[in-house]
Amino acid sequence: MNTDVIVIGGGLVGASTALALSRGGLSVVLVEAGLPQENNTEWDSRIYAITPGNVEFLRDLGVWNTMDASRINPIHAMQVWGDVSNSPLNFDAYSAGVAELGFILENRLMHAALWKALEHTQDLQILCPARCSALEFGKDTAHLTLEDGRNVSAKLIIAADGANSWVRKQAGVEVVAEPYHQLGVVANFDAEKPHGNIARQWFKDDGILAWLPLPGNRISMVWSAFEAQAKTLMELTPEQLCHTVAEAGHHSLGAMHLITPAAAFPLVLQRNQSMIAPRLAMVGDAAHQVHPLAGQGMNLGLRDVQMLVEVLLKTQRDVGDWAILRRYERSRKADVFAMGSVTDGLQKLFNNDDPMLGFLRNTGLRMVNHLPPVKRALMARALA
């Protein structure tokens, strides 16, 4: 089987890549190991904050408006507290001149909508479930062999198979990984008080706590905590966890009721030596991994997709041509580096017991509130 592009990995980033390229006129084969989860009525603990720029991308793909709007919640404002300050840093949509700062939605909801669109797209073949066995990169073509013996050849391979990318390893691309020795503990709650469509975040000396507004009085929690504390959180009873989370947020939304069990995942800063290799482009976590404190990992990946699609669809040449791939990498380098550096810097600044750093970080938060140009610059990046 021959095609223009093989996308390996059918998660949110891979599915959107395959959909956008096939809609753009390229022949695409999407390879995914496991079938998507069924989209049921239970709330998914994997929640994403999607920026307005990426919402427009999903809308252009015809995906956004197919999702159940009752399970999507807008963010109208954001409040950020330092570890000693009672006055938060405030961001709001009105000041930014937009209707929303972003939207909160479930992984499962978005994934189901993307796959439904994929199944009705021409020039796209889905191989699922299918596991990769071997991958060879030739001068003009890449050759993929699946475990069941099928072979697919393409001008370009796109790796969208996550942080532990099998494709990246086959290409020999080096990775520098820096574990934070933290876990991201996630869970969803019903809150006693309305959240007001406000995303709340507390930078604490022992971790970073975020509450993201879900429809109704529900919130999604992401608590980036050091391993020992995270383990303690995971061992709490539902009642104990509710009390601990409410207390950590100064009871600003009253009592909590757990609606999804807590889960945890390790936090790592991961930088690739390169986002490309001969006949290969990497997107999403296969290309980079950042701390989730700003909720920008998925948004970074979707911006990878948009730029790669733009570059590939503009070319009249071989889509795997090295010059084309270099154009993609150069276009993404600044955004990826900036987001990795900012999130890493904030993590190190706040998860540090140096008293001088404590003074600087909290003073800095207070100052930003009174520096409109700085706030506007931060908002512009958050809305992309």
Same-domain check for residues 80 and 139: no
Q: Cα angle at 339 between 210 and 204, to 5 degrees?
A: 30
Q: Classify residue 354: in a domain, yes or no.
A: no
Residue 56 belongs to what domain range?
A: 2-64+107-177+269-348
Q: pLDDT higher for 366 or 4?
A: 4
What average pLDDT is seen over the chain? 88
Same-domain check for residues 193 and 291: no
Same-domain check for residues 326 and 247: no
Same-domain check for residues 227 and 238: yes
Q: Classify residue 19: in a domain, yes or no.
A: yes
Q: Classify residue 379: in a domain, yes or no.
A: no
Least-confidence region, from 116-125, 155-164, 209-218: 116-125
Least-confidence region, from 123-137, 266-280, 288-302, 330-344: 330-344
Same-domain check for residues 130 and 60: yes
Q: Classify residue 97: in a domain, yes or no.
A: yes
234: which 2 tokens?
């995971």
Residue found under tokens 């999507």: 72
Same-domain check for residues 56 and 169: yes
Q: Which residues contact 221 (CB under 8 A, 6 or more apart)?
A: 185, 186, 187, 188, 189, 209, 210, 211, 212, 245
Q: Classify residue 374: in a domain, yes or no.
A: no
Using only C-alpha atoms, what is the Rg of the chain? 21
CATH for 126: 3.50.50.60
pLDDT reported for residue 347: 56
CATH for 241: 3.30.9.10
Same-domain check for residues 273 and 326: yes
pLDDT reported for residue 356: 43
Same-domain check for residues 292 and 258: no
Residue found under tokens 């040449």: 317
Name the amino acid, one letter, at 79: Q
The CA distance from 85 to 94, in Å, is: 24
Percent of the chain with pLDDT over 90: 70
CA dihedral 213, 217, 222, 227 (to 10 degrees): 170
Given 217, 237, 267, the domain boundary residue is 267
Q: How many domains does the chain fold into? A: 2
pLDDT reported for residue 204: 80
CA dihedral 232, 205, 301, 268 (to 10 degrees): -60
Give the tens place of pLDDT for each residue, 278-292: 999 999 999 999 877
Q: Classify residue 211: in a domain, yes or no.
A: yes
Say if strands 28-31 and 124-127 run parallel, antiparallel, or are unpaired.
Answer: parallel
Same-domain check for residues 259 and 280: no
Position 188 pLDDT exceeds 90: yes
Given 208, 241, 267, the domain boundary residue is 267
Q: Classify residue 193: in a domain, yes or no.
A: yes
Give the tens place of pLDDT for each residue, 330-363: 999 988 877 766 665 565 555 555 444 444 455 5
Position 297 pLDDT exceeds 60: yes
- What mean pLDDT comes out for the span 180-208? 92
Categorize the per-residue pLDDT at 52 as very low, low, confident or very high, splitting at 50, 70 and 90: very high
Same-domain check for residues 99 and 189: yes
Same-domain check for residues 166 and 198: no
- What mean pLDDT comes out for the span 248-261? 96
- What mean pLDDT comes out for the span 35-54? 86
Q: Classify residue 156: in a domain, yes or no.
A: yes
Least-confidence region, from 53-62, 212-221, 266-275, 321-330: 266-275
Q: Answer yes or no: are the C-beta atoms of 181 and 334 closer than 8 Å.
A: no
pLDDT reported for residue 66: 96
Same-domain check for residues 11 and 50: yes
